[in-house]
Structure 1
Amino acid sequence: MKKVLVILAVVMMTTLQAQEIKQVAQISVNGVGEVKVVPDQATISATVETKGVNAKEVKKINDTQVEAVLKMIKKMNLAPTDYKTQRVALNPQYDYEKKKTSYNATQTLEIIVRDLSKYDELMDGLVSQGINKINNVEFQSSSLSKYESEARKLAMKDAKMKAEDYVSVLGQKVGRALTISDNSQNYRPQPVVYARMMKTEMSDMATPRETVAAGEIKITANVSVSFLLE
């Protein structure tokens, strides 16, 4: 009997504690922080694509074009760590109507341009030496971690300010944070104004041109915070 009474007492205490926890005055809000930055570098993904009926010949031509592209990149004094082969492929293409097989060879390079003033010169060189497909141009900041930290701090300040606005009419104060959740999406920021694709015609290569508007990138942080009310 005593054992039963002890169990009941423990259950009642646990229930009371749970009720007390539920009755704690608190407020939950979301906070957003945003930092706008002018990008200072770009990552280019570009491909040399070659087609033909002989697999060996197609691969040979593709390799020759890629070699010329790499030589051009080296002449621009890019750091060896700033460019690499991303993907190499040789695929058969079967034409069911003609009942013939052709081959498609591709090599994709990833190049980091840390000085955007070299962007146009590099693009012209890539196309003139054999690149025939620009897959993507992504503008970035070399100080991304720094700006992400700033965005997180701004998000927390925004959350606290919202909480203070809500409770200001109640005669209460915002106390310590009970829970903090980071809801920021894990993605790379994109430029507000994206790159305009360069012309493939090389007739005006001698004339300096600007073919990209880098704009700015937005780095955002989103948090959910629960504050204790005093």
Structure 2
Amino acid sequence: MKKIFLTALLATGLLATAQVQQNTPPQINVSGEGKVLVMPDLVDISIGVTNTGADAATVKKANDQAIDAAIKYLKSQKLDPKDYQTQRVSLNKTYDYDKKKYNFIAQQTIMIHLKDITKYDALMLGLTDAGVNTINGVTFKTSKEEQYETEARIKAIADARKKAEDYTKALGQPLGKALMVTDNSQTYYPVVRNMAMMEKGMAADGAQETLAPGEITITANVQISYALGN
């Protein structure tokens, strides 16, 4: 009896699968990509202060003084308080095996969202004078992100349809309507990292240019299923 039940259940499952396959219209699945190259007009800057010494209190005090001066400098430049934020604060004890003694390393990181990219060099010079001695990296962005993402999506759809038309033309079958559209886009901004230690007076000339923004790429990726005609 149990075998009969299992056989009937299996038959029912196979029948259901066959009906689904029969009801599924012939289709073609393609992917499309759209890219828009733009000049960045925003930059996120990760800067920090690092101090090392044998006494924890002295090291932390030196770090706090430099960070205090850096924040006061940012305020003097009329940056919106929402455009800079403390990211990480640490005080670690390490052991120097060569000198056979302990040291303390104090670090603090601030992320700055600079809305006028032309002020980068002057801002970094002022922060260096304030005591900032580390650049963790910069990320270029655009203030028209939504606009360019829309353009990239339209290009991705056109790219997918062109592929589908190429395939159906080769097959000798008409291309039907879109059955499903899946957006696989992920916004990614490359980060320029150098982990550089900055030194006082590294840019004596305030007109010095040290940032080359280049272009950033806004990308959209889409997966589309089209009905395939007879």
Tell me the TM-score normalized by structure 2. Answer: 0.85
**1:8, distance to aligned residue in structure 2 (A):** 10
* Separation of aligned partners in 2, 1:56 and 1:13: 77
Structure 1 residues 28, 97: closer, same or farther in 2, change over 3 A?
same
Structure 1 residues 130, 12: closer, same or farther in 2, change over 3 A?
closer
* CA RMSD after TM alignment: 2.8
**Equivalent in the alignment of 1:189:** 189
**Equivalent in the alignment of 1:25:** 26
**Equivalent in the alignment of 1:142:** 143
**1:173, distance to aligned residue in structure 2 (A):** 2.2
Pair 1:66-2:67 in alignment: yes
SS at match of 1:223: strand
| Code of the aligned partner of 1:211 | T
SS at match of 1:149: helix
User: Which deviates further from its counterpart, 11-20 or 34-43?
Assistant: 11-20
Pair 1:216-2:215 in alignment: yes
- Residue-pair matches, total: 222
**Equivalent in the alignment of 1:41:** 42
**1:52, distance to aligned residue in structure 2 (A):** 0.9
Percentage of matched positions with identical amino acids = 44
**Contact 2:27–2:227 (Cα < 8 Å) also in 1:** yes
Tell me the TM-score normalized by structure 1. Answer: 0.85
Alignment of structure 1 residues 58-137 onto 2, 5 Å: 58-137=59-138
Q: Deviations over 1:131-160 (max 9, x none)?
A: 111001000012223322221222112111
* Unpaired segments ≥5 residues, structure 2: none
**1:97, distance to aligned residue in structure 2 (A):** 4.7
**Contact 1:151–1:219 (Cα < 8 Å) also in 2:** yes
User: Which deviates further from its counterpart, 26-35 or 161-170?
Assistant: 161-170
* Separation of aligned partners in 1, 2:61 and 2:16: 76
User: Which deviates further from its counterpart, 9-18 or 77-86?
Assistant: 9-18
